[in-house]
Structure formats: structure tokens, C-alpha cells
Amino acid sequence: MVIAVYGGSFNPPHVGHGMVAAWLLWTRRADRVWLLPAFQHAFDKSLAPFEARCGMCAQLAREVGTGVEVCAVEAELPTPSYTYNTLRALRERHPTDRFRLVIGADNLAQIDLWYRWDGIQAEFSPIVVGRQGFPPVPDAPQFPGISSTEVRRRVAGGEPFAHLVPAAIRDQVHALYGGAP
């Protein structure tokens, strides 16, 4: 089975994440998509509690449907857990599956900062997805330029954000990040 590992802070998850997960399944890029929230961000960004982000990702997975689930393995790994180490741990735990990393085009500018990117490319065949505002990616649609940073900014500033997150997590996003729904 091919499992697309879609890692990120998911701080909070938004409709763009759901679109990417659905596209991966609909186009048969993968048999399953595992949303993998970072336990501790490798670049030391401040994050909402891990359990809350996992819960929101689980709700997003239910909204997208069969084939999407949450993988909380980073809570069990030494910190910081670099993507390469996480993928290797998953492969060790699930030796009959093939893992592919999913990353957005917005991450390509920082790839030189990633631990063992060459190993990730060689062992986990990344699937790069397009994102509005960044150069197009061959064989991938340009997904909306929605970001968790923008969602947090809007929530904290009392600006509308309901169109950026699944309705099922709207109240939790409001409670975690403050502001008006």
C-alpha cells in the first residue's frame, strides 16, 4: 500500500489541507493519506497543544472521508523529530507499506534547511503539490494559498475565518486562537 505522509504543523488545519488530501486519493497518488502533525516544530515555531492539533486533524480526516487518517507517531519519537527520521520510523513500523512524503511548493524555498533532504528524495519519493503564490508544479494543481498563519491572524484579529477551516473545527479554532468566529 502507498501511504502519502502529509506532515505539517496543522496549526490549525484548514480547507487547503483537506483539498490536498482528497486530491491525493482521487488521483490515486496514494492509497491512504496520513496527516502527521509535528509534535515539536523542527524550526522551533510555537504550536497549539499537540493533542488539540491531532483532534482537529482527525475531524478534518472524517470530513475528507475514507482513506485519510491521523498519524501521531511524532509524540513517540525523540525531539525534535526531523521528517527523515519520522519517515524511517514509519517504514520500520510498517515494512510492507511504501511511504511518500507530501510537501507544498511553499516549502521548496527552505529545502536546504531540511535534515537529510537528499535521503528523503532517495527513499520517500516526495509528492510536491502546487500552491497559489508559488511557481507551478508539473502534474499538480495549484491549490489555494490558504495558510495556518493567515487563519491564526484572522482569528486573533477578529476577522472572518469561517471560509478557511472546516465547519466541524470552527469552534475549536476559535477557542484555541482567540477572536471572533
The 10s digit of each residue's pLDDT in 3-43 is 999 999 999 999 999 999 999 999 999 999 999 999 986 65
Q: CB atoms < 10 A from the CB of 27, how many?
A: 12
DSSP letter string over 11-37? Answer: SS--HHHHHHHHHHHHTTS-SEEEEEE
Over pLDDT 90: what percentage of the chain? 87
The domains of the chain are located at: 2-146
pLDDT at 79 > cutoff 90: no
Contact (CB, 8 A) for 151 and 159? no
Please give the span between the terminal C-alpha atoms of the chain, in angstroms, as a whole number.
40
Residues 6+ away with beta carbon under 8 Å from 18 = 60, 63, 64, 166
Q: What is the mean pLDDT of the chain?
A: 94
Fold of 2-146: Rossmann fold (3.40.50)
> Of 39-53, 96-110, 135-149, which range is least confident?
39-53
Instruction: Provide mean pLDDT across the span 111-122.
Output: 94
| Of 55 and 106, the one with more pLDDT | 55
